[in-house]
Structure 1
Amino acid sequence: MLAVLLLPALAGLVLAELSAERVQQLYGIQALRVYRDWQQLLLQLRRDGNEINRIQSVNQFFNQKLKYIEDAELWRQADYWATPLESMAKGAGDCEDFALAKYFTLRELGVAPQKLRMVYVRARIGGPASPITQAHMVLTYYAEPTAEPLVLDSLISGIKPASQRGDLQPVFSFNADGIWVGAGAAPNSSVDRLTRWRQLIDKMKAEGFIT
């Protein structure tokens, strides 16, 4: 697979704590409620040094707090990358929004960026033998560089090793360090995602959620 490096500046971003007034001003009371729950989650998990517990708790938090809704219905756009605050405000998101919210939360909890990748896959709807597939995004976690990744998915509650997710066929993955492009990726797909990643970072800076 080919790794395409992103700008180093994207790897050094950190989340900033927002005031209740700022969150409510931006997105309303619904966002503030979930944001406060999110802050409480961070407080609890910072006391727990077990990284696997953090992975499981963050996955569970967003799978419970957010409802899965496609962009066309939620944002009236074919493809929209919501910031974690936007997802909290809506109480919903699509697969990309789930993966991104989990990614930034785990980074805030100190999980190294090299251990996390957003992965675009072709998901077989109905199981590994199903002929029906759709584009999908998950977040993966590597305990070690050569370890089998764990898959954090918006469609199922449990976290499973990649070898147990025969319904997912990876296409390409990325994080703040780079893009890993597989043979099945469309020519412009990774470049398009890099552009959307930069746009997402810009929106989060405008919110004051990252510095």
Structure 2
Amino acid sequence: MAQRSSRHRLIRQKTPLLWRARPTVLVWLIVSLLSACATTKSGVALDFARQSQAIQRFGSRGIQNYEAWRSLISVLGNRTENAKLIEVNTFFNRRIQFTDDTAVWHQDDYWATPIETLGRGAGDCEDFVIAKYKTLTLLDVPAAKLRLTYVRALLGGPNSAVSQAHMVLAYYPGADAEPLVLDNLITDIKPASQRTDLIPVFSFNNDGVWMPGNPSRPAGNVERLTRWMSLQERMRAEGF
């Protein structure tokens, strides 16, 4: 995953040409990257007892992070979607330390549940995105407006020849609107057109998989992303 010095960028039909990569060329990348979404909204009760039990194994720091997260959900319920985006993005960017999976989980690539990320207080880019995505859907932000987006981050800026795999969360205010980018390496939420350091590869949510250049029509079924489906089962086991 990209280091803290790296920068990135997003998807949309009217956003610059790099976001309109050829879908047929990129389809193979989905399977090769992941060999690997049902939404729970705030109107559906969480199993706090099960979550509280799950967080115990991480000790006092994890418990503090979890309690702060629960407080965040309780105070943001009636806020605007824009306010929820800002507060959730800021919460995880400040509380969670960017750390490679090899250091946190002793695995090359591990997708952590929000409970695990809060418990460790650390995670890589996928963990930030998963935690933000799940929290926002709990706060009644429609999952259809959110996409977990794999990108190539151009290290050193848009003219760099060096890139690295990265993930960000894209928020689409409307069907034809330019997405906003929630990133763990850059504090401000910016429109995709301002993230010229990011080249989109593909995105997904509960409803399907999308390729750059065709944001309105899924290119595949999310059930093919086995790592994501496995994560859903683990989250349900933790009270989501």
Shorter-normalised TM range: 0.7 to 0.9
Percent of counterpart pairs with the same letter? 49
1:35-74 equivalences under 5 Å are 35-48=66-79, 50-74=80-104
1:122 alignment counterpart: 152
User: Higher RCO, 1 or 2 (CA under 8 Å, sep at least 6)?
Assistant: 2
For the Cα contact (< 8 Å) 2:55–2:115, is it kept in 1?
A: no
* TM-score for both structures, normalised by structure 1: 0.86
For the Cα contact (< 8 Å) 2:170–2:180, is it kept in 1?
A: yes
1:170 alignment counterpart: 200
Residue 106 (structure 1) shift: 0.2
2:128 alignment counterpart: 98
For the Cα contact (< 8 Å) 2:171–2:181, is it kept in 1?
A: yes
Is 2:109 the partner of 1:79? yes
For the Cα contact (< 8 Å) 1:115–1:141, is it kept in 2?
A: yes
Residue 202 (structure 1) shift: 1.2
Bigger share in strand: 1
State the Cα RMSD in Å.
Answer: 2.3
Answer with 123-132 or 166-175: which moved more.
123-132
Structure-2 separation of matches of 1:193 and 1:119: 16
The count of residues paired between Structure 1 and Structure 2 equals 196
The 1:72–1:22 alpha-carbon spacing in structure 2 relative to 1, beyond 3 Å, is same
The one-letter code matched in structure 2 to 1:36 is E
1:187 alignment counterpart: none
1:19-38 equivalences under 5 Å are 19=49, 21-38=52-69
For the Cα contact (< 8 Å) 1:23–1:31, is it kept in 2?
A: no
Point out 4+ residue stretches in structure 1 off by more than 6 angstroms.
Answer: 190-193
For the Cα contact (< 8 Å) 1:66–1:91, is it kept in 2?
A: yes
Structure-1 separation of matches of 2:75 and 2:181: 23
Structure-1 separation of matches of 2:39 and 2:133: 14
Ranges in structure 1 where 5+ consecutive residues have no aligned partner:
5-9, 184-189
Residue 32 (structure 1) shift: 1.3
* TM-score for both structures, normalised by structure 2: 0.76
The one-letter code matched in structure 2 to 1:198 is M
